[in-house]
A and B are shown apart, each in its own frame.
Chain A
Amino acid sequence: MTYTMSVDWIACDGRGLCAELLPERIAVDEWGFPLVGSEPMQADLLGHAQKAVAACPKLALRLTESAAG
């Protein structure tokens, strides 16, 4: 089982908490919106990723299971 991060772009306000909590995987663009990439989440970062998802004040960050890999 692998996990991929995605953003609900309508909900996202660019508050930037996710990038602070998961700097290993989330950068922000020049307007403050997250760049999450499409690569599967490394197993050792999964816990941090879940915390970032839970911390998003707009509930805009998602961690989705994908069966492949």
Chain B
Amino acid sequence: MTSISAPDLQVEGRILPDGIGAGKQRELVTHQQIHGPLDLAVSSADVIAAVAAAGLTGRGGAGFPMARKLTAVAAGSEPVVVANGAEGEPASSKDRVLLSYAPHLVLDGLQLACRATGATRAYVYVHEGPLVALLESLVAARRTAGVDAVTATVVAAPARFVSGQESAVVSALNGGRALPLAVPPSVYVKGVGRAPTLVQNVETLAHLALIGRHGASWFRSVGTEREPGSMLCTLGGAVAAPGVVEVPIGTRLGDVLARAGGSPGPLSAVLVGGYHGTWLPAGQAMDLSLSVEGLGPVGASPGAGVVVALSAQACGLSETARAVTYLAEQSARQCGPCLNGLPAMARTLTQLAGRERSRGLPERVLELAALVEGRGACHHPDGTVRLVRSALSVFAAEVATHQAGVCTATDDRPVLPVHPWRAGGAS
């Protein structure tokens, strides 16, 4: 069993083409040879129309239609555009990998987003570490080559779970702490320097750069009718080759995991959508498609593309308790129910996973879940509740055995990574 590490790459697709070694696409000339020139002499309306026709949605987890965001921000005066690469989720590496392997696609997309919105200020927001220096050097190279209309400013984000949340990004760029703010107003209306602000995940911008080159029909030639295009996934847990892959949206989950070489042994469950996501029984998960439409009926969603396979020999309750302990530590500690409720939920889950014979532990977890749900400024408590409820449901048999003092797991090595990723990957 292994946790996810960025160097284990299996890339193949549109934004992370196969057979291109690390670093090659960091050269602007190589990038241009691979992808061809990008025409920035396009109107705002043309970019927005192409994005709408392509059906591109945000790849940061929320899946919001990009054309609607572009339209809203373009309507304001002197807007700002932010490329958000601050993925806080330890189980996700896709933004870091994208920025390490194909950064110019992201920077191209940022330019198109500036065209679409009329922005004259642009930021690239990434976790502190080597990516900051890499992107600064690339922005400088593009400036020398004269390819950009707007010179982006690279800003470092602290490596914590919530620092990539949209209002936290705006707070950080305004010189504040990278913590979520109370909404409304939405950042589309009042964001960086009080200007309307487009915060867009870096992968979404990379897709935009390709739509700018190849058009909406090309984009829609993979994926599903309702959810066109491809997406990056970080595959981990009990798979032969953990890493980042690019798959068409709607790919069967079993086929997605096969891209990581499949699983060495039987699985009990699959975590889909990351730590704000959902455990699904392995038998049910394999035939579901990785899309909002495919996962919605079972209460799950692709999120930012994290898929973790759990071996039948591992303990799903211990894994969930560890993840929830991490999520509780990562609370911004701004909202009372989250600040109090998440640690209480983590402690109770840890007792349960530790086969403590106290009565009513699962009931207490559900009671706490109901108390924190919907009672925070951001999605952190709700996402954590989603993970916890799915664990109690999918691991219901283990809940019963643990209460009787028995854990049937035979492999107690940790599966879900709980430390913020080290800001490597750009070396």
Partner-B contacts on A (CB < 8 A):
7-14, 29-33
- Out of B334, B371, B375, which one reaches A30, CB within 8 Å? B371
- Out of B334, B335, B337, B376, which one reaches A29, CB within 8 Å? B337
Q: Is B285 an interface residue (CB 8 A)?
A: no
Describe B's contact surface by its main secondary structure.
loop
Tell me how far the C-beta of A38 lies from the nearest C-beta in chain B, rounded to whole angstroms: 8
Contact with A along B163-189 (1 / 0, CB 8 A): 000000000000000001110000000
- Out of B181, B340, B377, which one reaches A31, CB within 8 Å? B340
Tell me how far the C-beta of B342 lies from the nearest C-beta in chain A, rounded to whole angstroms: 12
Which chain A positions have C-beta within 8 A of B371?
29-30
Which chain A positions have C-beta within 8 A of B375?
7, 9, 33
Q: Is B336 an interface residue (CB 8 A)?
A: yes
Count the A-B residue pairs with Cβ separation under 8 angstroms: how many? 36
User: In chain B, what residue has the closest Cβ to A7?
Assistant: B375
Tell me how far the C-beta of A34 lies from the nearest C-beta in chain B, rounded to whole angstroms: 9
Alpha-carbon separation in the docked complex, A53 to B182 (Å): 17
CB-based contact A9/B334 at 8 Å: yes
Which chain A positions have C-beta within 8 A of B336?
9, 12-14, 31-33
Tell me how far the C-beta of B53 lies from the nearest C-beta in chain A, rounded to whole angstroms: 33
CB-based contact B340/A10 at 8 Å: no
CB-based contact B377/A10 at 8 Å: yes
Partner-A contacts on B (CB < 8 A):
180-182, 334-338, 340-341, 371, 375-377
Which chain B positions have C-beta within 8 A of A31?
336-337, 340-341
CB-based contact A10/B335 at 8 Å: yes
CB-based contact B182/A9 at 8 Å: yes
Alpha-carbon separation in the docked complex, A11 to B341 (Å): 17
CB-based contact B377/A8 at 8 Å: yes
Which chain B positions have C-beta within 8 A of A14?
336
CB-based contact B182/A11 at 8 Å: yes
- 16 additional A-B pairs beyond A31-B340, A33-B340, beta carbons within 8 Å, are A8-B377, A9-B182, A9-B335, A9-B337, A9-B376, A10-B181, A10-B377, A11-B182, A12-B335, A12-B336, A29-B337, A30-B340, A30-B371, A31-B336, A31-B341, A33-B336
Which chain A positions have C-beta within 8 A of B335?
9-10, 12
Which chain B positions have C-beta within 8 A of A13?
336
Which chain A positions have C-beta within 8 A of B181?
10
Alpha-carbon separation in the docked complex, A13 to B339 (Å): 11
Which chain B positions have C-beta within 8 A of A29?
337, 371
CB-based contact B377/A9 at 8 Å: yes
Alpha-carbon separation in the docked complex, A11 to B338 (Å): 13
Tell me how far the C-beta of B181 lies from the nearest C-beta in chain A, rounded to whole angstroms: 7
Tell me how far the C-beta of A52 lies from the nearest C-beta in chain B, rounded to whole angstroms: 17
Can you report 22 A-B residue pairs in the complex whose CB atoms are below 8 A from each other?
A9-B182, A9-B334, A9-B375, A9-B376, A9-B377, A10-B180, A10-B181, A10-B182, A10-B334, A10-B335, A10-B377, A12-B335, A12-B336, A13-B336, A14-B336, A29-B337, A29-B371, A30-B340, A30-B371, A31-B341, A33-B336, A33-B337
Tell me how far the C-beta of A27 lies from the nearest C-beta in chain B, rounded to whole angstroms: 11
Tell me how far the C-beta of B186 lies from the nearest C-beta in chain A, rounded to whole angstroms: 15
Tell me how far the C-beta of B168 lies from the nearest C-beta in chain A, rounded to whole angstroms: 12
User: In chain B, what residue has the closest Cβ to A33?
Assistant: B336
Alpha-carbon separation in the docked complex, A10 to B375 (Å): 10
